[in-house]
Amino acid sequence: MSQLKQKKNDDFFSKVYEVTKCIPYGRITSYGAIARYLGTGRSARMVGWALNVSHSNQEFIPAHRVVNRSGLLTGKHHFGNSTTMKQLLENEGIIIENDRIINFEENFWDPGKELK
C-alpha cells in the first residue's frame, strides 16, 4: 500500500494529532502551547499546518479546540463553514464573540502543563 510514501510515523504531525485529540471536552489550547510542548518551540505555524492536513487523518481531530494565542478562531474558515467552528465550541460551553473566545484563559488547556 504505497507505504513508501509514508514518513516515519509522521513524527511531528502524529504528535500534533495526539495532543489535539487529548484536549478534554470544553477545553481549548493555542498553537504555541502545542508547538512548545512538541519542542518545536516557536514554530507554532507547523502546528496549524499539521491540523491543516489533519483532514487526511481518518481520526477526528478536534481542531476546533485549537486557536491562536489570542483565542481567535483563525482557522474557522477551514471547517467548511465559517460558523462550524464557532458552533462546535459553543456547543462545548465555550463562549465566543466575534470569532474570539471570551473565556479563553478560563478554559485554556496547556499540554505541557496538563499532559506534561
Partner DNA sequence: ATTCTGACAGCAA
Partner DNA sequence: TTTGCTGCCAGAA
Footprint of DNA (CB under 7 A): 7, 12-13, 30-33, 35, 40-49, 51-52, 54-55, 63-64, 66, 68-70, 74-75, 78-79
In angstroms, the Cα distances linking 9 to 13, 14, 103 are 8, 7, 35
Tell me the three cell numbers of residue 93.
460551553
* Beta bridge partner(s), residue 60: none
Q: How far is the CB of 73 from DNA (least distance, A)?
A: 8
| Of residues 23 and 35, the one with the C-beta less far from DNA | 35
Angle between helices 31-38 and 44-53 (to 10 degrees): 100
| Of residues 1 and 56, the one with the C-beta less far from DNA | 56
| Of residues 25 and 60, the one with the C-beta less far from DNA | 60
Quick check: 77 and 40 in contact, CB under 8 A?
A: no
Q: How far is the CB of 11 from DNA (least distance, A)?
A: 7
| Of residues 24 and 52, the one with the C-beta less far from DNA | 52
Q: How far is the CB of 43 from DNA (least distance, A)?
A: 3
Residue 42 and residue 76: Cα distance in Å, rounded? 22
Q: How far is the CB of 34 from DNA (least distance, A)?
A: 9
Residue 108 and residue 4: Cα distance in Å, rounded? 39
